[in-house]
């Protein structure tokens, strides 16, 4: 069993917490709106603790279920508390004004920019290509979700992959953290495709034949 702290209490926090509880892991949800965190916890079947952002982080794995800009500020604020932790970046750093570009430098990614702020943490990119509702459901069209995992620390990637597998999904090793650039592009593309699929946000990116 792993201990997982999720920062944020929105849609992705719900999806990832649902899967983590299903996998038998201990979950802590920290949010600026503690009532929202408490309400999410009551919807989950496992023993889930909650508190404000800034409370002692219980998890060895910390999931940033925050918009990209907020994730950057929160890791800067928490900084030392994240030393040695596995920090999972799930963001798609899309420019939501134009919905036509990323806000990150061309040769970088949200995950790499976050890693620069917390160099003593072990940053892993995961979950950014999966939509929140599909994580709550745990499957799409009767098939396991594929979750792509990128990072420079092999042990950290293995720990995140073990959580993913235990929660009924398939973890796919996507390489080093710099592959987050491509994963975020796929996440963005998947979002732009939704209009053509009736905006149900219920599709999944999956690798077949392997
Ligand atoms: N939704 C998806 O299907 C999906 C799929 C893949 C990746 N992602 C990525 O996942 C991340 C979270 O998305 P989401 O859909 O879960 O968003 P969301 O439902 O809007 O939830 C965002 C959470 O972040 C909190 N937050 C925002 N700014 C904050 C700040 N400055 N300090 C502390 N907390 C802050 C919000 O708190 P309040 O409730 O108080 O505002 C809320 O709890 C994003 O980076 C997104 O790109 C989303």
pLDDT 10s digits, 112-131: 999 999 999 999 999 999 99
pLDDT in tens, 141-162: 999 999 999 999 999 999 999 9
Q: How far is the CA of 42 from the centre of ligand 1 (A)?
A: 19
On whether the CB atoms of residues 164 and 149 are closer than 8 A, the answer is: yes
Residue 76 pLDDT level (bands cut at 50, 70, 90): very high
pLDDT value at residue 47? 81
Q: Retrieve residue 192's tokens.
A: 């732009």
Ligand 1 mutation target, pool 7, 14, 32, most atoms within 8 A of CB: 32
Determine the atom of ligand 1 nearest the C-alpha atom of 36.
39
Averaged confidence pLDDT in the chain = 97
What's the pLDDT band for 43 if we cut at 50, 70, 90?
Answer: very high
Spatial contact of 65 and 12, defined as CB atoms under 8 Å apart: yes
Band of pLDDT at residue 13, cut at 50, 70 and 90: very high
Residue 92: CB within 6 Å of ligand 1? yes
Q: What pLDDT, on the 0 to 100 scale, is given for residue 46? A: 82
Contact (Cβ atoms closer than 8 angstroms) between residue 42 and residue 21: no
The verdict on the CB of residue 134 being under 6 Å from ligand 1 is no
Which amino acid residue places its CA nearest to atom 28 of ligand 1?
70
> Three-state SS across 118-158?
CCCCEEEECCCCCCHHHHHHCEECCEECEEEEEECCHHHHH
């Amino acid at each position: 069993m792993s201990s997982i702290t999720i920062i944020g209490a929105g849609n992705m926090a719900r999806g990832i917490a649902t899967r983590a509880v299903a996998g038998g892991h201990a979950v802590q949800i920290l949010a600026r709106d503690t009532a929202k965190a408490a309400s999410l916890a009551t919807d989950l079947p496992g023993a889930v603790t909650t508190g404000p952002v800034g409370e002692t982080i219980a998890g060895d794995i910390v999931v940033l279920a925050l918009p990209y800009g907020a994730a950057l500020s929160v890791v800067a604020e928490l900084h030392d508390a994240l030393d040695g932790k596995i920090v999972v970046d799930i963001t798609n750093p899309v420019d939501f004004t134009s919905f036509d570009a990323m806000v990150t430098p061309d040769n970088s990614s949200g995950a790499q920019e976050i890693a620069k702020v917390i160099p003593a943490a072990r940053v892993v990119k995961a979950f950014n290509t999966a939509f929140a509702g599909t994580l709550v459901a745990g499957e799409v069209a009767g098939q396991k979700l594929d979750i792509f995992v990128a990072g420079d620390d092999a042990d950290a990637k293995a720990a995140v992959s073990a959580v993913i597998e235990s929660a009924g999904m398939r973890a796919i090793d996507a390489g080093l953290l710099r592959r987050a650039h491509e994963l975020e592009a796929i996440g963005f593309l998947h979002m732009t495709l939704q209009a053509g699929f009736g905006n149900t946000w219920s599709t999944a990116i999956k690798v077949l034949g392997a």
